[in-house]
Structure 1
Amino acid sequence: MRKLYITLLSICLFSAVFAQNSDSNNGSLLKKASGLFGKSASGTSGLSSDDIIAGLKEALIVGSKNSTDKLSAADGFFKDAAVKVLMPEEAKKVEQKLRQLGMGQLVDDAILSMNRAAEDASKSAAPIFVNAVKKMTVQDGLSILNGADTAATGYLRKTTSPELMAAFHPVIDSALQKTGATKYWKDIFDTYNKFTLKPINPDLSSFVTGKAMDGIFHYVAEEEKKIRTNPAARVSDILQKVFNKR
């Protein structure tokens, strides 16, 4: 009888442990997400896991919209020293030589056209960002919550870069053609190559595409940091509800 009692007790204990460990992955992750905010001194009364994920998505959407609106405006790139597209590093000597030869206006026209192309392409970024945000999983949310002040930006860069590149490149190529940048670029290097034994021929469209993406992610990161640290940047109820609890 004693052995039977011990056996039944063991089965009950095993069943309880098994049931506790067999929660669905999403359920466990959601509980963990709730607990992360629970560590803050201000507490998390009334804050659900759904709220946390919704707040992160809203932060990304707000941040990406503010960034793309800023950079797609006239002079969004051109008059912003933080993101302005300048000549590639390998072309600096070309630029200096052409300016010394009195062809500074040719260089200036090329730089202006590159920035106009970046501004034009930035208009197509927002819907790509929104689509990526909609696909965010609970696990993505946990990684962001556990990450640095720009972890959400890192998530966007990881999930949208190939699509952004594909969307930006033809827009920038077309804009460069429209504004005459490719002509200026060709004129610059055709002129320079007459005076050098090492001709330079970088891919202008790819260079500007990369710089345009860098500029957008620069400001998405700035927006994310503001939302995390500045209550005034939390412009919706869900942002206030989630980030005020941190």
Structure 2
Amino acid sequence: MKKQNPILPATLFTILFFTINLNQAHSQVLNKLLSKATKTNTAATPSDQEISTGIKEALQQGIVKSSDQLSAVNGFFGNAAVKILFPPEAQKAENTLRKLGLNKLCDNVILSLNRAAEDAAKEAKPIFISALKQMSVKDAANILLGPSDAATQYFKRTTTDSLAAKFRPVVHNSLNKVGATQYYNQAATSYNKVPFNRNKVDPDIENYVTQKAISGLFVEIAQQELQIRQNLPSSRSTALLQKVFSYADQAKK
């Protein structure tokens, strides 16, 4: 009978011992990595309250910036995206008046309409802030994970009527202050006197300016919202905003 080599079992035992310990060490490292990844993911996921606070913080920044820009001198007049021109139904009248050499009158009308909108924009901030205060956690989550204009659409739903009610008297006073009512009435009257002109222009311009001032605000707010979502450094200026919107970026992938 062949004798068993006494060294072989010891060698096998040693290999088995190190293999088991290596597997245990590998398992411990793996568990640590998984634990770390889980903690990292948990830390990166904002709570409902953080989402609500972050969205409100971001939107308040956008509201303040939009209102301040549009209420400044030339906020409307110097911004091609929101500049108020003659109403569509009165543009033929404008062309006719310019052909008659009344360019200055037409220019005065356009400038005064935009000055009225700039005055009205000063009243927008508290209305938007009020809408922010009423925003629910669900609203905030829907905005965060919604389309690129979700916040703008929320403001349209919740503030349009209040803006119109607040803007109308401001527009009325401003149009009178800068002479817009007089200029536009004069332009409309001049056009309506043109011989053989069957398309008369309504001299009431207040409602038109009110609606254009509101739509201009939403154009500017939409731009601010897009900048936040596009991760521009100046838009995600706090740790909370970075956390909330980075989470949204990952969730949409």
TM-score scaled by length of structure 1: 0.80
Task: Give the distance between the partners of 2:42 and 2:214, measured in 1 at CA.
Answer: 36
1:52-88 superposed Cα distances (whole Å, 9 cap, x missing partner): 1111111211111111111111101101111100001
Identity of aligned residues (%): 46
2:229 maps to what in 1? Answer: 228
Task: Give the distance between the partners of 2:140 and 2:89, measured in 1 at CA.
Answer: 40
Question: Which one-letter code corresponds to 1:45 in the other structure?
Answer: A
Q: Which runs of 5+ in 1 are unaligned?
A: 1-41
Q: Tell me, what secondary structure is at the counterpart of 2:43?
A: coil
1:239 maps to what in 2? Answer: 241
Whether contact under 8 Å (1:172, 1:205) holds in the other structure is: yes
Question: Which one-letter code corresponds to 2:137 in the other structure?
Answer: V
Give the C-alpha shift of residue 240 in structure 1: 2.2
Task: Give the distance between the partners of 2:157 and 2:124, measured in 1 at CA.
Answer: 14
Whether contact under 8 Å (1:74, 1:119) holds in the other structure is: yes
TM-score scaled by length of structure 2: 0.78
2:16 maps to what in 1? Answer: none
Range 157-166 or range 190-199, more displaced? 190-199
Task: Give the distance between the partners of 1:70 and 1:118, measured in 2 at CA.
Answer: 12
Decide whether aligned partners of structure 1 residues 43 and 209 sit closer, same or farther in structure 2, where only a CA change above 3 A counts.
farther
Give the C-alpha shift of residue 198 in structure 1: 2.9
Task: Give the distance between the partners of 2:42 and 2:247, measured in 1 at CA.
Answer: 6
Question: Which one-letter code corresponds to 1:157 in the other structure?
Answer: K
Give the C-alpha shift of residue 199 in structure 1: 1.7
1:54 maps to what in 2? Answer: 53
Task: Give the distance between the partners of 2:231 and 2:144, measured in 1 at CA.
Answer: 17
Larger Rg: 2
2:168 maps to what in 1? Answer: 169
1:83-138 superposed Cα distances (whole Å, 9 cap, x missing partner): 10000111111000000000010010010000000001101101110110010012
2:74 maps to what in 1? Answer: 75
1:214 maps to what in 2? Answer: 215
Whether contact under 8 Å (1:231, 1:240) holds in the other structure is: no
Question: Which one-letter code corresponds to 1:109 in the other structure?
Answer: N
State how 1:73-222 maps to structure 2 within 5 Å. Answer: 73-195=72-194, 196-201=197-202, 203-222=204-223
Task: Give the distance between the partners of 1:237 and 1:165, measured in 2 at CA.
Answer: 36
Whether contact under 8 Å (1:44, 1:245) holds in the other structure is: no
Task: Give the distance between the partners of 1:118 and 1:187, measured in 2 at CA.
Answer: 20
Question: Which one-letter code corresponds to 1:190 in the other structure?
Answer: T
Decide whether aligned partners of structure 1 residues 101 and 75 sit closer, same or farther in structure 2, where only a CA change above 3 A counts.
same
Range 57-66 or range 160-169, more displaced? 57-66
Whether contact under 8 Å (2:189, 2:203) holds in the other structure is: no
1:28 maps to what in 2? Answer: none
Decide whether aligned partners of structure 1 residues 44 and 167 sit closer, same or farther in structure 2, where only a CA change above 3 A counts.
farther
Task: Give the distance between the partners of 1:243 and 1:147, measured in 2 at CA.
Answer: 12
Q: Tell me, what secondary structure is at the counterpart of 1:201?
A: coil
Task: Give the distance between the partners of 1:82 and 1:163, measured in 2 at CA.
Answer: 23
